[in-house]
Structure 1
C-alpha cells in the first residue's frame, strides 16, 4: 500500500470535530463548502493556518495525514496559485470515502494564535 502525505490548515471548530472522530476523519462539509481542500505541502498549509485561520477564528492549526494513493489517483492535483500552491479538490460527497482511505491518525503539527 502506497500513501500520500497531505496537510490541512484548519480552525478550532473543524479541529474539534476531527478530535471527536478519534483523529480518524474529517467532518462533513457545510452547505457552503462543496469541496474539501487538502494541500500537498506543509509550508502552504502553514501560510493558510497562520494568515487566514487565525484572523477568521482566532486560531489556526496545521494537520498532517496519510491517504491511500490509489484513492487520490482519481483526482488531479490543482495548482491554486504559485508553483508550490498545490491541493486536491475533493467533492464533499466523496469525503466519506476519503475518510475511509486515511491511514493512521490525523496529527496536529503546528498551532497559531
Structure 2
C-alpha cells in the first residue's frame, strides 16, 4: 500500500511577469530568482498573499496575483517559519540556490486563486 507523503499548502503573491514565467512552466515551477533576490518567500496564509498582491504588486506592476500550491512537508522541514512583521505575516525563506529543489517538491500544479489590478482594487 502506497502512503501519500504529507504536504503543506502555501501561497505566493506574484506580478504579471512572474505569472507568465510560471505559466511557461506548465504551472509547475517558479522562475529563478533575479540577482537582487537572494530569497524566495512563499507565505503561509492566503490573506497575507492577498495583502501583498493587492497592496504591493498592483502599485509596482499594475497587477497582482495569488498562487496556491502544495509542497512536500519533508522538504519544508529543512526551513523554519519566519515572521515578517506581525504574527499574521508568516513565510518560509528559501535561499535562491534551493529554488530548483523547492520546485521539485511541489506536488500538483500551481493555481491562481485571486487577481487584482489597478481597476479592481480602487
User: Which TM-score band applies after superposition, normalised by the shorter structure?
Assistant: over 0.9
- Residue number among 11, 20, 24 corresponding to 1:16 in the alignment: 20
Gaps of 5+ in 2: 118-122
Q: How many residues align?
A: 113
CA RMSD of aligned residues (A): 0.3
Give 1:83 shift: 1.1
**Structure 1 length as normaliser, TM-score?**
0.99
Deviations along 1:7-50, one digit per CA (max 9) or x if unpaired, are 00000000000000000000000000000000000000000000
The list of structure 1 runs, each at least 4 consecutive aligned residues, that deviate by more than 2 angstroms after superposition, is none
Higher Rg: 2
**Structure 2 length as normaliser, TM-score?**
0.92
Q: Does structure 1 residue 46 correspond to structure 2 residue 50?
A: yes
Deviations along 1:47-75, one digit per CA (max 9) or x if unpaired, are 00000000000000000000000000000
